[in-house]
Structures are given as C-alpha cells and as structure tokens.
Amino acid sequence: MSEDRSSAAGGDSDSIWRGLKSLIFGNDAEESLRDQLEEAIDRHEGDPAPDAKGDLSQLERQMVRNLLHFGERDAGDVGVPRADIIAVEEKTTFARLVQIFAEAGHSRLPVYREKLDTIIGMVHIKDVFTILATGAPHPEDLSGLIREPLYVPMSRGALDVLADMRSKRVHLAVVLDEYSGTEGLVTIEDLIEEITGDIEDEHDDAPTALLIPLDGGGWDADARAPLEQVAQVVDERLGETEEDVDTLGGLAAVLAGRVPPVGECVDHVSGWKLEITDADERRVHRLRLHPPVALAIEED
C-alpha cells in the first residue's frame, strides 16, 4: 500500500514538474529524440576517432546527422534541376538514343513529348543493351521501350519519395511543379546521397572547382555554384537576393531578366559584374566575376 502511495506521489511530482516546465518554457521545452541525438553528436564534433571500440566514427556521425535532417527535405530540394535534365524526345531514333546513352553515362533517360514539361516515361539502358547484345532488329520508334516513372509533387517529402520508389520498384521520379510542369528529376541514388554524401563511380567525371580565383580579385565560376558558397568564398553580398534562385547562373538570369548570351556583363548592386563566358539559349554555363573597382584596386 505504501509503495502504491509512493509511486502515486512520484507520478504527481513528475506531472507537476512537467506542468511547470510547460507553463514557463512552453510546450516545446521537452526536447525531442531528434534534438537529443543531435546534441549528443555535437558533443563529439571534431573527435578524431571513436572513444571506445564499436563507437561511431566521424563518417558515421555525419551520416546520422544527415539522416536526422533527411525528413526535412522534399522532392524539390534534391535531385537534378530542370536545367540539368538530359532527356530524349519520343520521336528520337534508336541509333540516336544509343548515342545519347553513351554520351550521358546514365542508366535511365526520361522521354518527353514535344516539350520537357510533358514527360511520358523513361527508357532503361538495360532494354537498349539487350537489343544490341542479342542482335535483335532495332525498333522503329521508342514506344516499346518506354517504362512508367514515378510522378511526385515538389512538396512531397524525400522520405516519402524513397518509400514510393521501394514499394513500386521504380528508381526514377519526375518532380512536378505547382502547374504540373517538370521541375526536376530524383533518382534513388540522389536520395541515398542525402544521407551518405556523394557516391562517385568510375564513370563520373573528376570533380572540378566551382569557383577559381583569378589575378586582380576576379573569379572564374561554374554557373552551378550555390549562392551560399559564393557568399562564403567571394562576397556575402552576392548571396543576398529576394528572388527564388539558388545558383550563380540563376542569379545572372534574374538580374538580366532573361538568359544572357555569351559576352554580356550583368551588374550586381554590390558592384560586382557577372560576365557570361559560356551559355546556350536555355541556361548559363560559366561566368567570370569582376570585382567592384575599390576591391580590384586593393587586390592590385
């Protein structure tokens, strides 16, 4: 009987304490399991090696951290943006399809009808290779090779997209914007890399620097350079924009009001000039950043 009273008293005490914490600090005072795990990882940040046998290594700690935030990402945050999609039109010949596969180095290519916003399916390289390896007649069109991909809204959570791929055994998802146009592509490899970091194989090109310093304070830049990185490395003012752009090439297009051609210089409010050194009708590929006059004089 006394044990029951003691237990009840302890329960009341805990309940009162939780009530006081909620009253003073709000309902979020009690840390979630996610917060507790991240705090534990933070305490060991920079540890050169596990403290004990079987403990988490630096790589494992980073993967756990990535996993904790994986659920915060959505389909619009991961994968290949629209500008970088390599796709084939449905009227493409089989011979040209083989050539595109060889040049792209991908195992799957989306197939569109007339324009990229109308993706009707995908072609798997395995089906193409089977025809080539067996000496079967080349098909007159791609209709017999087209498989159904997943179609997901850009707001769908990355974890949900991964579950969709597993359940439907499809490794390519077309990400749709609010108007049902093509926003980008997500592969199962893209999702896994959100946890493990970049996975490169023997077919991947060697990584190249996105920002290369030049004499006089200028920079040679890949248009894919994230504005966050540009702000950290070059000038924080270049990362300040009210427009919904994430890359240096996107910034140049926004400032110009269109895709600027090669040779055009676009002025930034900070005094930096963005000179287009490589572009096509769809997007900018490379730029040269010319520093403000005052900064150029300091560099000299």
pLDDT tens for each residue of 218-238: 999 998 888 888 999 999 999
* Full domain range(s) for residue 156: 80-196
Q: Are 189 and 167 in contact (CB under 8 A)?
A: no
CA angle 159, 163, 165 (to 5 degrees): 115
Regarding whether 216 and 190 lie in a shared domain, the answer is no
Average confidence (pLDDT) over 128-146: 94
Q: Residue 8 — pLDDT band, cuts 50, 70, 90?
A: very low
Q: Residue 268 — pLDDT band, cuts 50, 70, 90?
A: very high
Element (DSSP H or E) covering residue 3? helix 2-25
CATH code of residue 273: 3.30.465.10
The total domain count for the chain is: 2
Say what the pLDDT of residue 3 is: 47
Note whether residue 3 is domain-resident.
no
Question: Which domain-ending residue is among 146, 166, 196?
Answer: 196
Regarding whether 232 and 294 lie in a shared domain, the answer is yes
Note whether residue 143 is domain-resident.
yes
Regarding whether 179 and 96 lie in a shared domain, the answer is yes
Note whether residue 70 is domain-resident.
no
Which alpha helices (DSSP H) does 105-196 contain, by range?
125-134, 158-168, 188-196
Average pLDDT of the chain, as a whole number: 81
Q: 């990355």: which residue's tokens?
A: 158
Q: Residue 16 — pLDDT band, cuts 50, 70, 90?
A: low
Torsion of CA 13, 18, 24, 29, to 10 degrees: 150
Q: 């499809």: which residue's tokens?
A: 170
Note whether residue 125 is domain-resident.
yes
pLDDT at 260 over 60: yes
Note whether residue 66 is domain-resident.
no
Q: Residue 164 — pLDDT band, cuts 50, 70, 90?
A: very high
Note whether residue 231 is domain-resident.
yes
Q: Are strands 146-147 and 284-290 parallel, antiparallel or unpaired?
A: unpaired
The predicted-structure confidence for 25-58, as pLDDT tens digits, reads as follows: 455 545 677 677 777 777 766 665 555 555 667 7
Question: Between these two residues, 60 and 129, which has the higher pLDDT value?
Answer: 129
Q: What span, in angstroms and rounded, lies between the C-alpha atoms of 7 and 13?
A: 10
DSSP E strands in the chain: the ranges are 80-81, 88-89, 108-113, 115-124, 146-147, 150-153, 172-176, 182-187, 211-213, 219-222, 265-267, 273-279, 284-290
Q: 């930034």: which residue's tokens?
A: 268
Regarding whether 186 and 216 lie in a shared domain, the answer is no
Say what the pLDDT of residue 274 is: 95
Regarding whether 86 and 178 lie in a shared domain, the answer is yes
Note whether residue 23 is domain-resident.
no
The predicted-structure confidence for 234-256, as pLDDT tens digits, reads as follows: 999 998 887 777 889 889 988 99
Say what the pLDDT of residue 261 is: 92
Say what the pLDDT of residue 142 is: 94
Regarding whether 179 and 262 lie in a shared domain, the answer is no
Residue type, 170: V
Note whether residue 120 is domain-resident.
yes
Distance of CA 145 to the CA centre of its chain: 28
Regarding whether 178 and 110 lie in a shared domain, the answer is yes
Say what the pLDDT of residue 32 is: 73
pLDDT at 198 over 70: no
Say what the pLDDT of residue 95 is: 94
Q: Residue 20 — pLDDT band, cuts 50, 70, 90?
A: very low
pLDDT at 173 over 90: yes
Q: Is 184 helix (H, G, I), strand (E, B) or coil?
A: strand
Regarding whether 215 and 148 lie in a shared domain, the answer is no
CATH code of residue 110: 3.10.580.10
Question: Which domain-ending residue is among 166, 196, 226?
Answer: 196
Regarding whether 124 and 219 lie in a shared domain, the answer is no
Q: Which tokens in the block code for residue 206?
A: 């060697």
The predicted-structure confidence for 55-71, as pLDDT tens digits, reads as follows: 667 777 777 777 777 77
Regarding whether 191 and 262 lie in a shared domain, the answer is no
